[in-house]
């Protein structure tokens, strides 16, 4: 088991790691729309979602993997009306790669975020 943290994504805001690599899988902690310097992105679902995927990309790449290795996405929204916008952005981010996904509406998120996303990625070295 290997706990990973990269300076290319925001530091955690609690007693946990950005990700953990175990048995060929990478599990990320939930990401909200913080920049790598720790600033919260304004109250805009488009900008928040894009920042989160930038953070996830940095975390996955730090584990020597890529966005194409993501097999599961969990999305937590404070307003299900944002579902369509998130779908458009996710399609842009992943293209033809379509990981499985759950989307759940929640009553609130840390720092009043509109969205939080965590992923599971396959980091098995097949070479």
**At 46, which helix (H) or strand (E)?**
helix 45-62
* Apex 109 CA angle, 11 and 39, nearest 5: 40
pTM for the model stands at 0.95
pLDDT value at position 125? Answer: 75
Distance CA 108, CA 88 (A): 23
Residue located via tokens 């584990």: 63
Asked if residue 57 belongs to a domain, the reply is yes
pLDDT in tens, 76-88: 999 999 999 999 9
Asked if residue 34 belongs to a domain, the reply is yes
Asked if residue 45 belongs to a domain, the reply is yes
Distance CA 70, CA 38 (A): 24
Q: How many domains does the chain have?
A: 1
Asked if residue 127 belongs to a domain, the reply is no
Asked if residue 94 belongs to a domain, the reply is yes
Asked if residue 22 belongs to a domain, the reply is yes
CATH number where 74 lies: 3.30.1330.40
CB 56 within 8 A of CB 93: no
Which residue range is the domain that position 85 belongs to?
A: 2-122
């Amino acid at each position: 088991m290997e706990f990973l943290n990269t300076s290319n994504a925001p530091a955690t805001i609690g007693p946990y790691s950005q990700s953990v690599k175990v048995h060929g899988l990478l599990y990320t902690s939930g990401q909200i729309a913080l920049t790598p310097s720790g600033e919260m992105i304004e109250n805009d679902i488009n900008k928040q979602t894009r920042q989160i995927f930038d953070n996830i990309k940095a975390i996955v790449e730090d584990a020597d993997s890529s966005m194409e290795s993501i097999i599961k996405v969990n999305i937590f929204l404070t307003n299900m009306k944002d579902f369509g916008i998130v779908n458009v952005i996710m399609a842009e981010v992943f293209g033809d790669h379509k990981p499985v996904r759950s989307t759940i509406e929640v009553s609130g998120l840390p720092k009043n975020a509109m969205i939080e996303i965590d992923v599971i990625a396959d980091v098995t070295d097949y070479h």
